[in-house]
């Protein structure tokens, strides 16, 4: 069970949904939230290269809740391949929160289109998976993607992240969630597109050579955050919600 650190009460689904609700007023006409998990010594994944090794049931439950609150889920191709992504589904205890809306589409950002378009992510999605790619994408992969996904071209040689956000907003997706991976998150933050970071801190020391939750360009002067709330559970996980200053 997830609890509030300061007050100590157990938080049910409705209380968690209220704690993680998107702002009523979206300052930029949209709100981009990132959700990541990391170990106490900073690793973004376990030794086999997946996050499941450093996660737990409450972390997974929170991930699914954040999806239920979002209009769309953005993710990079490496994460899709490593974590074997499928389409988003709404848990029974999240149905009232979601209302009559279908599950949020997964939006994959990839210039190379190096994906298996026979995966359930593309063939079993209740709402077509979106693929944001560039003009330089291979023609055969582009044709394959177009048969099973909503393909959007944003950028000439690489995916233009700001254009991705603009395209989603134009389609009415204003409550955005990204699950990384580290390269995608680093570029989103560096380009000033991030509004919020939800970080689950796993109570383990992993050692090894795993990268951090962000891997990419330096952010000049850093990106200041302020802590919106801190939650914990019986396993010793910390669930930290940060909002970007001036978001």
52-56-59 Cα angle (round to 5) = 95
Q: Report, in angstroms and rounded to the nearest whole number, the Rg of the chain calculated over CA atoms.
A: 18
Whether the per-residue pLDDT at 79 is higher than 60: the answer is yes
> Which residues are CB-neighbours of 207 under 8 A, at least 6 positions away?
41
* Mean residue pLDDT across the chain: 94
Parallel, antiparallel, or unpaired for β 175-178 and 150-153?
Answer: unpaired
- The arithmetic mean of pLDDT across residues 110-130, rounded, is 97
What is the C-alpha to C-alpha distance for residues 21 and 149, in angstroms, rounded to an integer?
A: 29
What is the C-alpha to C-alpha distance for residues 63 and 35, in angstroms, rounded to an integer?
A: 7
Is pLDDT larger for residue 180 or for residue 209? 180
The confidence score (pLDDT) of residue 6 equals 58
62-71, 97-106, 177-186, 205-214: which has the minimum mean pLDDT?
205-214
The confidence score (pLDDT) of residue 8 equals 64
Sign of CA dihedral 59, 64, 68, 70: positive
Structure tokens at 184: 């995608």
Greatest C-alpha distance within the chain:
56
Burial (CB count within 10 angstroms: exposed 0-12, middle 13-18, buried 19+), residue 157: exposed
Taking 3-state DSSP, the helix, strand and coil percentages for the chain, each rounded to the nearest 5, stand at 30, 25, 50
**Which pLDDT band, with edges at 50, 70 and 90, does 247 fall under?**
confident
**pLDDT tens digits, 11-60:** 899 999 999 999 999 999 999 999 999 999 999 988 777 888 999 999 99
> Domains in the chain, start-ordered, CATH in brackets?
2-22+29-244 (3.40.430.10)
Q: Is the backbone peptide bond immediately before 110 cis, with ω within 30 degrees of 0?
A: no
């Amino acid at each position: 069970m997830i609890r509030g650190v300061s007050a100590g009460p157990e938080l049910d689904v409705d209380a968690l949904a209220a704690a993680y609700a998107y702002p009523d007023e979206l300052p930029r006409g949209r709100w981009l939230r990132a959700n990541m998990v990391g170990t106490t010594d900073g690793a973004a994944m376990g030794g086999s290269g997946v996050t499941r090794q450093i996660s737990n049931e409450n972390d997974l439950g929170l991930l699914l809740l954040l999806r239920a609150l979002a209009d769309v889920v953005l993710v990079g191709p490496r994460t899709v391949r490593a974590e074997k992504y499928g389409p988003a589904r709404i848990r029974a205890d999240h149905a009232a929160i979601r209302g009559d809306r279908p599950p949020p589409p997964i939006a994959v950002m990839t210039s190379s289109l190096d994906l298996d378009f026979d995966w359930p992510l593309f063939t079993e999605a209740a709402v077509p998976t979106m693929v944001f790619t560039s003009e330089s994408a291979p023609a055969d992969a582009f044709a394959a993607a177009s048969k099973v996904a909503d393909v959007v071209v944003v950028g000439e040689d690489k995916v233009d992240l700001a254009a991705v956000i603009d395209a989603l907003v134009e389609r009415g997706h204003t409550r955005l969630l990204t699950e990384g991976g580290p390269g995608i998150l680093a570029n989103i933050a560096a380009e000033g597109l991030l509004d919020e970071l939800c970080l689950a801190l796993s109570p383990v020391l992993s050692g090894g050579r795993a990268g951090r939750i962000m891997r990419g360009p330096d952010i000049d002067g850093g990106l200041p955050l302020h802590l919106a709330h801190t939650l914990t559970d019986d396993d010793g996980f910390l669930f930290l919600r940060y909002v970007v200053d001036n978001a």
